[in-house]
Amino acid sequence: MKKILVFLKDYKKESVIAPLFKMLEAIFELIVPLIVAQIIDIGIASGDRNYIFGRFGVLIILAVIGLACAVCAQFFAAKAAVGFATQLRSALFAQIQKLSFADLDQIGTSTLITRMTSDVNQLQSGVNMVLRLFMRSPFVVFGAMIMAFTVDVKAALVFVVAIPLLSAVVFGIMLITIPLYKKVQASLDRVLGKTRENLSGVRVIRAFNKEEEEIKEFNESNEILTNMQLLVGRISALMNPLTIIIVNAATIIIIWIGANQVYSGVLSQGDVVALVSYMSQILVELVKLANLIILITKAVACGNRVADVLSTESSIEERTRTDVQAKPDAPLVEFKHVSMSYGKSSEESLSDISFVAKRGQTIGIIGGTGAGKSTLVHLIPRFYDASKGSVLIEGTDVKDYPLEQLRNKVGIVQQKAVLFRGTIAENLRWGNADATEEELWKAIELAQASEVVRNKEDGLEHMVEQAGRNFSGGQRQRLTIARALVKNPDILILDDSASALDFATDAKLRSALKSIAGERTIFIVSQRTSSIQHADMIIVLDDGKAVGMGTHEKLLESCEIYREIYESQFKKEERGASHA
Amino acid sequence: MRKASQKSTLRKVFRYIRKNIPLLVISIILALITVATNLYFPILTGDALDLILKKGVVDFAGIMRIIKVALIVITVNAVAQWFMNICNNRMTYRIVMDIRKDAFRKMEHLPLGYIDAKSHGDIVSRIISDVDTFAEGLLMGFTQLFSGVATIIGTLLFMLSLNFKITLVVVIITPVSLFVASFIAKKTFSMFKLQSETRGEQTTLIDEMIGNQKVVQAFSHEDEARTKFEEINDRLEKYSLNAIFFSSLVNPSTRFVNSLVYAAVGITGALSAIAGGISVGQLSAFLTYANQYTKPFNEISGVVTELQNALVCAARIFELIEETPEKADAEDAYELENADGTVSIENVSFSYMPQQKLIENFNLLVKPGQRIAVVGPTGCGKTTFINLLMRFYDVNSGTIALGEEADDKQKKQTLYDITEITRKSLRKNYGMVLQETWLKAGTIRENICMGKPDAAEEEMIAAAKAAHAHSFIKRLPNGYDTVIAEDGGNLSQGQKQLLCIARVMLCLPPMLILDEATSSIDTRTEMRIQKAFLTMMEGRTSFIVAHRLSTIREADVILVMKEGKIIEQGTHEELLKQGGFYHMLYHSQFES
């Protein structure tokens, strides 16, 4: 919770002022009965109408002051709570940006989204309520106890017993329900996950006529959530009756003790009336408090979930922030005995890979599904850390680079072609915010996407909808390639990113890339030998091991797997084509 | 206008409440008991206090009697309150569950056009955050409204029994607080709406950025993403502050009105006491009750704000629930048993937007077992064609019709317009593998058996083997029972595609749609799958979107698409002879 509360630090002033005004208001409220007593004791007794009118005026003034205090308190509480939530969301968003790919795989997207939205909202209401009431209630409760002591010590001991009992009930219920509320939020995660999944998979679900089953599954998750909420509700529902029963019982005991004290002449009847009324003041506060406690409990549970995210150390540790200078004569990319496994226990996805890639070279990576091709290229921009060995860029281990410098050197086009809402130009400028229109067009031409953009009436200013769904798969791929090119990176990685392109476009793309190789190193991951056969070096992966490395010609001679791949696609089609 | 929409939202909420009427009745009865015992307890203590007079004059026996009654009263009170709370909880969460259920059900039946056009984050925000906020408001409403109303009626009765005139003063002034509350509520309605909408906008951004975090990081785009986020976040801060602060004014304002009531009772009471109208004791009792009476007004007005917010959220949910669903199947829609593979496309025209024409006057007769290849440069609208075949979208004009396998071979074959067939039976007859792989969170087994949940273990393994997915599945930690996370988690694109193929291999419907089904699979594996594909396509009408020539060449009809239109149509040889776009496309393949 401490991790969370620091976000109130910019609102220290507000967080102090709000409860202060609340207490002031309470004090003015306590004065009111005294004024009324004066009206009765002095005004009515002497029949002085002017005095009564005067006191009436005082009551109105008190009401106005009370209103002013309350308005101030509400304002400062709202300001602190909303500001707190805003900063918290902002910090969360920043934190999530820092998480590594491995962390993201592990935590999952849905829960991050609920934490940023639903959980933070709960926390906001919690803080708001606490500032408004939490100071006031203990103030009134303990105030009442102190007042009781001034009346009679023996009777006041009832308060001394009752108040800890009340606290035990309140905190006990809180302690029991906090973990349960955490479970409620976790069930909510599942409901959210199901909803997202059904939106993204709508075509497949309908194609398989799975709507009813999906509804059934959603309803199950929904019911689990509801049952969880009901369970927590049943326990929280105990709070009010339990506290009220304690207070009422205490009142009865006070009457009994009071009766004895009066009988023996220690107290007067009025004193007992006062004691009873102090107890009932506590009661009134507790009724208010009960709702508050539920809110706070929820907020604490949500706060813990948020704190979990904030305290997740990114598994990619940034060792330095100062830019690294290239070592002279070092190759642009070098792998030294690199192995990598995703989980601690799982099998190695890459084992003992070593190679050197120089500037101007094109490196082809080929291999079966799941052979570790993507894993290999993901190590270059340090999306994951190698579990053994090291990846060097310009002679320095990627772990010794500041992440931003490292990733600015690398342009990667991922398998899943993702575009974002905004114009085409905005999307393309992702890697380089200052790119001129000319540079954008150059990248578009290279990526064979010019016809995609030119066909739009508003060209570069054409709006891309969510997830780029107003573009086809191939169009998206070409635009993502253009996006990487705009970045003008030293190392360009195409991770099987031409899969949705037809052969003609793919061929054009390859010859365009060749023209810009120059000082760069280009990695092309592909299933097609045609895409990589002209590469300076081809790495053939099989089950995470490099089973062949060299040029197309050399590999055809020496590497059986490569030959198989090549023959499986190329020869046959070539033969077919020559038939035609 | 706004009022009307608010009212209609309320009416819709009541529709959900209606199902829980028994609970509601019990809750109201329990509220009455709770309030009655609450009000009775002070009377009992008052009576007891009257028995404590002065030194030596205390009626212990009387006090004991009262205490016994009081103990019963507080027990009844506690039990009634507990059960009331439970009833309210149950009612609220059941209603909320029903609403979420309905919202999700609607989502499953929305036209694809809607889902494609709406931001997913916003829909999610409606089903999750908005429903949550609504639940909170509703619960507060239930717990405080009934007991509040009961308290008001109770104290009113007690006051009337004391003095009519002063009661009148209280009754006349108090509604002012309700008026104030509703005034503020009305003013803040639009602020809450703004807050909700901005929240939706923010969720959309979060969904987009966090959902694609890997791309964001690859481009070191974190700072820009943050800037965008901060902009919305700042706006949300402003709107939230407005909504929360102005709505929180309700409570102090009504309390101010209460203070006025209290002062007014004080002065009228004092004046009539001087005139001898009431006794001092009565006046003090009156003041106590005046306080008791006004308190629930505070609580209710507090609830009013909470409800205000809840109503805004409810309105957003109902907007989703009331969205027009896909046109339902006609009641007499035909249940297509087994398609024979005939697909007749006549004069079909279609476009997503009226001003942008796409497919026009398209005609094609596909005979059973034929293989139709769809080729064309990327982005030529091949997906649109699939959208129409599967009826994800409806044609604007023209008809697509399917033939059914007849028991009696002699009978003349009839064709069924796909708009007159149930969607379910239509889609059941197609097996579809899309380029964009989608797997649900669950086990591998669940994913493969999606189209045939009752498949035997051997069947499933056979399908996985045919799709060449068996070997990699076996290497996973829990084999077929390995749980894959959201969006396929750690599986590679190719592995996901193999699973999607296995999914279709298992149920083998009479017609197939393969949209770049093997784009992410390595060619050696693909070669092997190809054999399975060929067996699978044997005797099945199949629509294949592909790049690889071997598949295309062997097709019975090749549709060449460009910019959403079908520009050429024929067999491989015919098209090559034509020397048109296909000719060019074909020959460009080996240039490099």
For chain B positions 191-210, those within 8 Å of chain A (CB to CB) are: 199, 202-204, 206-210
Same domain, A457 and A522: no
Residue written as tokens 């409806």?
A: B394
DSSP state of A313: P
Q: Select from B52, B85, B249 the Cβ nearest to the Cβ of A240.
A: B85
Whether residue A325 is contained in a domain is answered as no
Consecutive 10-residue averages of pLDDT for chain B (592 residues): 69 87 90 86 80 82 92 93 91 91 89 82 84 84 79 80 78 78 81 88 86 78 85 93 87 82 83 77 71 72 75 87 83 83 89 77 88 76 82 89 73 78 87 81 87 87 88 83 74 82 87 79 71 80 77 83 80 87 72 38
The whole-angstrom distance between residue A378's C-alpha and the CA centroid of its chain comes to 24
Contact, A354 vs A395, CB < 8 A? no
Domain-ending residue, one of A432, A467, A488: A488
Helix or strand (DSSP H, E) at B226: helix B222-248
Same domain, A427 and A464: yes
What is the pLDDT at residue B48? Answer: 84
pLDDT, tens digit only, all 580 positions of chain A: 677 888 888 898 988 899 889 888 877 876 776 777 777 777 777 888 888 888 889 989 988 998 999 899 999 999 999 999 999 999 888 888 888 887 887 777 778 888 888 889 889 988 888 888 777 777 778 878 887 888 888 888 888 898 889 889 888 988 898 899 889 988 988 888 888 888 888 888 887 778 888 889 899 999 999 999 999 989 988 888 898 899 889 989 988 998 888 888 888 777 787 788 778 777 777 777 777 777 888 888 888 888 888 888 877 777 888 888 888 888 899 999 999 887 665 667 888 999 999 988 999 999 877 788 888 998 998 888 888 899 999 999 999 998 888 888 888 888 778 888 889 998 898 878 888 999 999 999 999 988 888 888 888 899 988 777 788 777 888 899 999 999 888 999 998 877 667 777 888 888 888 888 778 899 999 877 878 888 899 999 988 888 999 999 999 899 888 888 887 765 544 444 433 3
A77: nearest CA in chain B? B245
* Torsion of Cα atoms, A54 then A56 then A60 then A65, to 10°: 60
**Best of B89, B123, B217 to mutate (most A CBs within 10 Å, chain A):** B217
Q: In what order do the strands lie in the sheet with A362-367?
A: A410-413, A491-495, A521-526, A362-367, A537-542, A545-550
- Say if residue A436 is exposed, middle or buried (CB neighbours under 10 Å; 0-12, 13-18, 19+): exposed
Backbone angles phi, psi at B55, to 5 degrees: -50, 125
What is the pLDDT at residue B234? Answer: 93
Q: What Cα–Cα distance (Å) separates residue A151 from each residue in A29, A38, A275, B52? A: 21, 21, 8, 16
Which domains can be identified in chain B, with CATH numbers?
Answer: 2-321 (1.20.1560.10), 435-508 (3.40.50.300)
Same domain, A481 and A499: no
Whether residue A227 is contained in a domain is answered as yes
Contact, A2 vs A8, CB < 8 A? no
Whether residue A61 is contained in a domain is answered as yes
What is the pLDDT at residue B591? Answer: 42
Q: Select from A110, A272, A431 the Cβ nearest to the Cβ of B49.
A: A272
Same domain, A428 and A482: yes
Same domain, A504 and A479: no
Whether residue A200 is contained in a domain is answered as yes
Residue written as tokens 């190809």?
A: B530
What would the two tokens of residue B590 be?
A: 């080996």
Same domain, A261 and A389: no
Q: For the whole model, what pTM was predicted?
A: 0.74
Is residue B496 within 8 angstroms of chain A, CB to CB?
no
Is residue B476 within 8 angstroms of chain A, CB to CB?
no
Backbone angles phi, psi at A358, to 5 degrees: -100, 165
What would the two tokens of residue B284 be?
A: 């003090």
Domain-ending residue, one of A488, A504, A526: A488
Is residue B293 within 8 angstroms of chain A, CB to CB?
no
Whether residue A315 is contained in a domain is answered as no
Contact A109 B217 (CB under 8 A): no
Chain A, chain B: beta-carbon pairs less than 8 Å apart:
499
> By residue range, what is the domain housing residue A481?
419-488
Query: Helix (H, G, I), strand (E, B), or coil: what is residue B57?
Result: strand
**Best of A51, A206, A292, A378 to mutate (most B CBs within 10 Å, chain B):** A206
DSSP codes of every residue in A54-65 = HHHHHHHHHHHH
CATH number for the domain that contains residue A534? 3.40.50.300
For residue A395, the distance in angstroms to the closest alpha carbon of chain B comes to 21
Please list the residues that pair with B432 across neighbouring strands.
Answer: B513
DSSP codes of every residue in B321-355 = HTSPPSPPPPTT-B----EEEEEEEEEEEE-SBTT
Same domain, A228 and A354: no
Same domain, A8 and A149: yes
Contact B77 A241 (CB under 8 A): yes
Whether residue A323 is contained in a domain is answered as no
ipTM of this predicted structure? 0.78
CATH number for the domain that contains residue A224? 1.20.1560.10
Q: How many other CB atoms are there within 10 angstroms of residue B556's CB atom?
A: 15
Report which of A435, A414, A389, A410 is spatially closest to residue A525, judged by C-alpha positions: A414
B547: nearest CA in chain A? A502
Contact A40 B270 (CB under 8 A): yes
Structural domain count, chain A: 3
Q: Select from B71, B79, B120 the Cβ nearest to the Cβ of A199.
A: B120
Whether residue A43 is contained in a domain is answered as yes
Same domain, A306 and A374: no
Contact B224 A192 (CB under 8 A): no
What is the pLDDT at residue B57? Answer: 80
Contact B525 A368 (CB under 8 A): yes
Q: Select from A44, A94, A503 the Cβ nearest to the Cβ of B274.
A: A44
Domain-ending residue, one of A459, A488, A517: A488
What is the pLDDT at residue B1? Answer: 38
- Sequence letter at residue A230: L
- Distance from C-alpha of A70 to C-alpha of A52, rounded to nearest angstrom: 27
* Sign of the CA dihedral with A409 first, then A411, A412, and A418 last: positive
- Say if residue B340 is exposed, middle or buried (CB neighbours under 10 Å; 0-12, 13-18, 19+): buried
Same domain, A257 and A379: no
Q: What Cα–Cα distance (Å) separates residue B353 from each residue in A102, A143, B544? A: 42, 70, 26
Whether residue A324 is contained in a domain is answered as no
What would the two tokens of residue B81 be?
A: 């309150």
Query: Helix (H, G, I), strand (E, B), or coil: what is residue A20?
Result: helix
Contact, B228 vs B183, CB < 8 A? no
- Distance from C-alpha of A549 to C-alpha of A538, rounded to nearest angstrom: 5
Contact B132 A118 (CB under 8 A): yes
Is residue B175 within 8 angstroms of chain A, CB to CB?
no
Contact, A236 vs B139, CB < 8 A? no
Same domain, A337 and A293: no
- Sequence letter at residue A198: N
Query: How many CA atoms lie within 13 Å of A315's alpha carbon, on the beta-carbon side?
Result: 17
* Torsion of Cα atoms, A43 then A49 then A50 then A55, to 10°: 50
Q: Select from B45, B222, B236 the Cβ nearest to the Cβ of A251.
A: B45
Q: Select from B128, B214, B280 the Cβ nearest to the Cβ of A101.
A: B214
Same domain, A277 and A194: yes
